[in-house]
Amino acid sequence: MKKNVNLKDRVVDMWEVDTGLHESEIVSYLDRKMKVRFHSARFSNSTYVFTGNPKDGPSDCITVSGYRKKQPGEKVSIDIGR
């Protein structure tokens, strides 16, 4: 995984990340009201669903700005609204 933390713009860019392995780190950035942008990611988080809006970031990545606890049996790892 490669990452770039931009404190001024409150954005974290992550490349080649497995969200299941770095779930707590991602949540810690979201708790600090930062946006996280995924560039080539594998979504396998087990505890949380990452949420966002497609208008939050560029079209060449997935940008999340929040999270919620997964419901029992839920298999979704990311929920980007319309």
- Tens-digit pLDDT profile for residues 1-54: 999 999 999 999 999 999 999 999 999 999 999 999 999 999 999 999 999 998
For the chain, what is the domain count? 1
Q: Over 70: is that where the pLDDT of 79 sits?
A: yes
Residue 43 domain-assigned? yes
What is the pLDDT, as a whole number, of residue 59?
A: 83
Residue 81 domain-assigned? no
- DSSP for 23-72? HHHHHHHHHTT-EEEEEEEE---SSEEEEE-GGGS-TTSEEE-EEEEPPT
Confidence grade of residue 82 (pLDDT, cut at 50, 70, 90): low
Residue 79 domain-assigned? no
pTM for the model: 0.91
22 is in which domain, residue-wise?
2-74
Residue 35 domain-assigned? yes
Residue 80 domain-assigned? no
